[in-house]
Amino acid sequence: MNKQILSTGAFLLLITAHITAAPPDLQIGTLDSMVKARETETNLQIPEHGIALDAARNESESFQILLRGKDKQKVSLAISPLTNANGKKACISARIRHQVDLFLETTTDFANEAGWYPDALAERDTVTLQKDKTERFWITVKVPTEATPGKYTGHVIVKTTSAGTKKIPLALNIRKFALPKIPNFQADIGIWEQFVEPAYGIKGRHNYFRFIRKHWKLLADYRLAPRQGLPLKYGKDAQGNPTLVFPDEFKNVVKEAEETGFAYFTLPGGDYQKKKPEFYQRLNRFVNSSPYLKKYGIVYYADEPWGEKQRKAMAANLKIAKQNAPDVNFMVTYHPTPALIGLINIWNLPLANLTPEVDLEMRKAQKRGEKTFAYHNGILFSVDNQPVRLRLFYWRHFDYGYSGLVYWCGTHWSFRKKGEPLLDPAKFTRDDIRKYTTGGVLFYPGKNGLMPGIRLETIRDASEDYDYLVLASQTVKSAAGKKKLQKLHSEMRRLFPKNPMKINFRNSPGKLRAMRRELADLIEAETK
């Protein structure tokens, strides 16, 4: 096994048992979703008893299949129906995608070398093997809320053109409890016009908004909300009161956003827009028209207001906004500072500024009843980072009391030639796209729309981890259960960096799996 994979430690699906009865010219391995494998991986193994998944209802769980064999041999994957002991099929869906490698030009602080790393996920269940290269597939099993709890079994079926068929046992344990439709963690992502519009030939604000709406289900699957300006205008409600309204085409957007499951709804009214008191009065009435908007609606008021002079000027405008829209949540991307305290509902902290002093101010804000988010576009999201680190990052958010994350941009595309977008990540070369492996890209410009990757899969899993932590804090009431939960939190903290500014989380997939199972057991045992 190569050096990078060895550094991750033990994990659930990859153990010492070797393939049994495998086709002679095909190697097959399985791998946990918390680890990335490169095309040079040669130590392909599967557990003796196959693959084991454990998921709550309304949760997705993933694993990987690794293949290596004869040059030009075609291999395809499929998932058989999963059934329980009585022959009843599990109410699930399974998605198979092929991992696409991206070239990393510069090294990061994870001590990895430049080279090819997997991230983009192409909708393919068949691949032609190449000599001395390991192909990797990502399989996601989604368990809907209506699924019946229990234990189910089936197979991953690997077919080849010349070496026959291999069946790998697949077991799924569906828990009795369900994760909430609207996540506890309020995460959003920027999908910026200046990158999306030239890639897809979009012109005009409404067409851009239509493009985003087409991706709502995709965004909700990854537990992210879109951060885009909405086409609101002056109008009147059903009783004739002045309010803000959408154009007729978008009049049901709020209801649709709630049904979709977004935990963050972008409202207009930022400082840069210089709105008048009447606007904020209408905005306040608009927000109060919907319990969903009152809870999840957010005005991204200002972005990193550096300097006391700038913050004081902003505070003068913000006072007008708050006086006329007292029920609206206003957010600033900054930490608590005297000029803004009392005017801000959500502090969105740039994590590079998380010093012990700032950490103390954020905790004071939480005691005042204000929310604290994290603002991120840094190295932790790099394509060469192991997924387990990113997931632990969200566990630290829970521990620090952060209930949301603003990801500045997920479409910071830089094409090889201006005006020549390449809409097929499978054909990228190291000279095509320069910024695809840094913090500004989580979606790729696929032919049929935004194309996700492993990092987005990890962000969804991390958000689900956060729900586990919240559910455990809400449901565990017994003295014995609380003692176990307290011990688990202590074990969790040992995986975090001691310095809050650091991000060098320990690579501990096996430990994280064990903690998730313990959380699930506690929730299940004490859920009425």
pLDDT at residue 6, rounded to an integer: 29
Residue 122 and residue 98 in contact, taking contact as beta carbons nearer than 8 Å: yes
Contacts of 334 (CB under 8 A, 6+ apart): 302, 304, 305, 311, 340, 347, 348, 349, 350
If pLDDT is split at 50, 70 and 90, which confidence band does 230 have?
A: confident
pLDDT at residue 11, rounded to an integer: 33
pLDDT at residue 189, rounded to an integer: 94
If pLDDT is split at 50, 70 and 90, which confidence band does 429 have?
A: low
In whole angstroms, how far apart are CA 381 and each of 6, 396, 441?
A: 21, 15, 9
300: left (phi over 0), alpha (psi -120 to 50) or beta: beta
Fold designation for 3-178: Immunoglobulin-like (2.60.40)
Residue, of 11 and 426, whose pLDDT is higher: 426
pLDDT at residue 329, rounded to an integer: 97
Please give the average per-residue pLDDT across 88-110, as a whole number: 87
If pLDDT is split at 50, 70 and 90, which confidence band does 24 have?
A: low
In whole angstroms, how far apart are CA 126 and each of 68, 78, 136?
A: 13, 9, 11
pLDDT at residue 273, rounded to an integer: 64
Sign of the torsion formed by the C-alpha atoms of 59, 171, 30 and 423: negative
pLDDT at residue 418, rounded to an integer: 56
If pLDDT is split at 50, 70 and 90, which confidence band does 426 have?
A: low
Q: Which of 88, 114, 111 shows the shortest CA–CA distance to 101?
A: 114
Q: CA 333, 339, 343: angle at the middle one, nearest 5?
A: 65
Residue, of 88 and 247, whose pLDDT is higher: 88
Please give the average per-residue pLDDT across 354-380, as a whole number: 92
Residue, of 273 and 175, whose pLDDT is higher: 175
Please give the average per-residue pLDDT across 502-512, as a whole number: 89
Residue, of 427 and 257, whose pLDDT is higher: 257
Please give the average per-residue pLDDT across 503-512, as a whole number: 90
Q: For residue range 164-175, list pLDDT tens digits in order.
A: 899 999 999 999
pLDDT above 90 for 307: no
449: left (phi over 0), alpha (psi -120 to 50) or beta: left
pLDDT at residue 8, rounded to an integer: 31
pLDDT at residue 498, rounded to an integer: 87
Percentage of the chain exceeding pLDDT 90: 68
Q: For residue range 106-163, list pLDDT tens digits in order.
A: 766 677 787 888 999 999 999 999 999 999 999 999 999 999 999 999 999 999 877 7
Of 15-19, 57-61, 84-88, 508-512, which gets the smallest average pLDDT? 15-19
At 491, list the tokens.
Answer: 């074990």
Distance CA 65, CA 46 (A): 9
Q: For residue range 188-220, list pLDDT tens digits in order.
A: 999 998 888 888 889 888 899 999 999 999 999
pLDDT above 50 for 40: yes
CATH for 189-453, among 1.20.5, 3.40.50, 1.10.3470, 3.20.20?
Answer: 3.20.20
pLDDT at residue 408, rounded to an integer: 87
At 496, list the tokens.
Answer: 């975090």
Distance CA 69, CA 72 (A): 9
Q: Which of 183, 409, 400, 399 shows the shortest CA–CA distance to 296?
A: 183
Of 91-100, 307-316, 437-446, 460-469, which gets the smallest average pLDDT? 437-446
At 58, list the tokens.
Answer: 């309304």
Of 88-102, 134-148, 438-452, 456-470, which gets the smallest average pLDDT? 438-452
Q: For residue range 456-482, list pLDDT tens digits in order.
A: 999 999 999 999 999 999 999 999 999
pLDDT at residue 436, rounded to an integer: 52
pLDDT at residue 4, rounded to an integer: 35
Residue, of 85 and 21, whose pLDDT is higher: 85
If pLDDT is split at 50, 70 and 90, which confidence band does 93 have?
A: very high
pLDDT at residue 267, rounded to an integer: 93
DSSP 8-state symbol, 163: S
Collapsing DSSP states into helix, strand and coil, what is residue 234?
Answer: strand
Are 3-178 and 189-453 the same fold in CATH?
Answer: no
pLDDT above 60 for 2: no
Distance CA 469, CA 474 (A): 9
In whole angstroms, how far apart are CA 267 and each of 231, 297, 360?
A: 10, 6, 29
> Which sequence spans correspond to the domains of the chain?
3-178, 189-453
Percentage of the chain exceeding pLDDT 70: 89
If pLDDT is split at 50, 70 and 90, which confidence band does 430 have?
A: low
Q: Mean of the per-residue pLDDT values for the chain?
A: 88
At 522, list the tokens.
Answer: 């506690």
Residue 226 and residue 407 in contact, taking contact as beta carbons nearer than 8 Å: no
pLDDT at residue 12, rounded to an integer: 36
pLDDT above 80 for 446: yes
